[in-house]
Structure 1
């Protein structure tokens, strides 16, 4: 009777984690959880899934060690297991960008069309924001901003940007950020701001990567 060696056992477990990630809805749920802890109900609403479907996906990811959960009364809350999950998602993105023609086409036709300029690095933004040389603009919804945001950030969700342009100083460069490297909110915000004469750029990634780098994050409303 044959038995698996330790390497085969490990590879089988690694494959189980990879299989768990193999669903677009689960990647979208992880993007939401990268913003902070959420209840199943909120995650379902954010991703357009039914509560039952969202719960099923989350349970699969909990069993694979990708997320952790806690119960508070009738509600179950989820969060990322740890920042290593962000590393896995980043690695997936890099491999796909480099080796899949369809991904490269989407990046070129959608994202680069809206913003072909080099994004602002975390280090540059931290330095310039501390010097008061830039306006940091968080274009995520208000509830995500409350969970955590960059120090000194102004929260104007993309849907409200047009009506609240008067709150932004056109003399200051604006650096917009949202959920991650390919969050469309920051791309759309930068394109809209430039069309109205503002000097605007994007942060190279988003709040989760900023937090994972050990940089300061503030919670609560402005």
Structure 2
């Protein structure tokens, strides 16, 4: 047997894995599952797909061992199959994409950095300020994602409910909003809304996944 055959087999399997994630909708589903378990209907709502299309994408990801199903009652819940490894894969893909793709760099610059927005808060800066009790944290993800894990002391006010619950926030404290990660727009929209209402608000640059991956403390709703 040729000595190159095992290597070719490994590269072939890696190519199949790359093909499995080589679709924008599947990447979006993986990003969502990096937050918490979801059923097909929830994932369809987040991604804007039909339940049937969502299910087909999940089956491709399942065959690649990137997601795993678990039945709970009448629902089948999906989660990442190897959370740390798949999250690291997504992070690496995002970093290479931002470095190599001029279009991605420009999009990030235009959407997240321009439009008069304040610089986002880094994890290190936020950690120091939390020790001083100097900020109010607002998690603008859906409630079930917050329940599965959130930054210590964060208020959960999903973006679509934020304007109705401004009375829960103080004008005298800076607000840091966060969501699913550096490409998630929920916290950016939240900051724009808060600033338009006169609040001092910034967003957490890497969101909840970055905070968790860095080893900082998180809480769950049951904690």
TM-score > 0.5 by shorter chain: yes
8 Å Cα contact 2:180/2:207 also seen in 1: yes
**Residue 186 in structure 1 maps to residue 187 in structure 2:** yes
Alpha-carbon spacing, 1:55–1:115, altered in 2? closer, same or farther (3 Å): farther
User: Structure 2 unaligned runs (5+)?
Assistant: none
Q: Secondary structure at the match of 1:209?
A: helix
**Residue 8 in structure 1 maps to residue 8 in structure 2:** yes
- The CA distance in 2 between the partners of 1:205 and 1:12, in whole Å, is 33
Find the counterpart in structure 2 of residue 69 from structure 1. 69
**Deviation at 1:116?**
4.6
Alpha-carbon spacing, 1:147–1:9, altered in 2? closer, same or farther (3 Å): same
Find the counterpart in structure 2 of residue 107 from structure 1. 108
**Deviation at 1:164?**
2.1
- The CA distance in 1 between the partners of 2:97 and 2:51, in whole Å, is 30
- The CA distance in 1 between the partners of 2:53 and 2:217, in whole Å, is 35
Q: TM-score, normalised by structure 1?
A: 0.90
- The CA distance in 1 between the partners of 2:186 and 2:222, in whole Å, is 20
- The CA distance in 2 between the partners of 1:178 and 1:185, in whole Å, is 6
Find the counterpart in structure 2 of residue 156 from structure 1. 157
Q: Secondary structure at the match of 2:205?
A: strand
- The CA distance in 2 between the partners of 1:118 and 1:221, in whole Å, is 33
**Deviation at 1:209?**
2.2
- The CA distance in 1 between the partners of 2:74 and 2:161, in whole Å, is 33
- The CA distance in 2 between the partners of 1:117 and 1:140, in whole Å, is 21
- The CA distance in 2 between the partners of 1:115 and 1:181, in whole Å, is 18
**Deviation at 1:130?**
3.1
- The CA distance in 2 between the partners of 1:203 and 1:108, in whole Å, is 16
- The CA distance in 1 between the partners of 2:136 and 2:203, in whole Å, is 11
Alpha-carbon spacing, 1:116–1:99, altered in 2? closer, same or farther (3 Å): farther
Find the counterpart in structure 1 of residue 218 from structure 2. 217
Find the counterpart in structure 2 of residue 123 from structure 1. 124
- The CA distance in 2 between the partners of 1:72 and 1:115, in whole Å, is 46
Alpha-carbon spacing, 1:74–1:167, altered in 2? closer, same or farther (3 Å): closer
Find the counterpart in structure 2 of residue 200 from structure 1. 201
| Backbone CA RMSD of aligned residues | 2.2
| CA displacement 1:85-116 (0-9 Å, x = unmatched) | 12221222222222222212222222222465
**Residue 145 in structure 1 maps to residue 174 in structure 2:** no
| CA displacement 1:150-199 (0-9 Å, x = unmatched) | 11001122222223222211211111100111211111111222233322
**Residue 168 in structure 1 maps to residue 172 in structure 2:** no
User: Structure 1 unaligned runs (5+)?
Assistant: none
Find the counterpart in structure 1 of residue 33 from structure 2. 33
Q: Secondary structure at the match of 1:161?
A: helix
**Deviation at 1:50?**
2.1
Q: Quick check: 160-169 or 128-137, which moved more?
A: 160-169
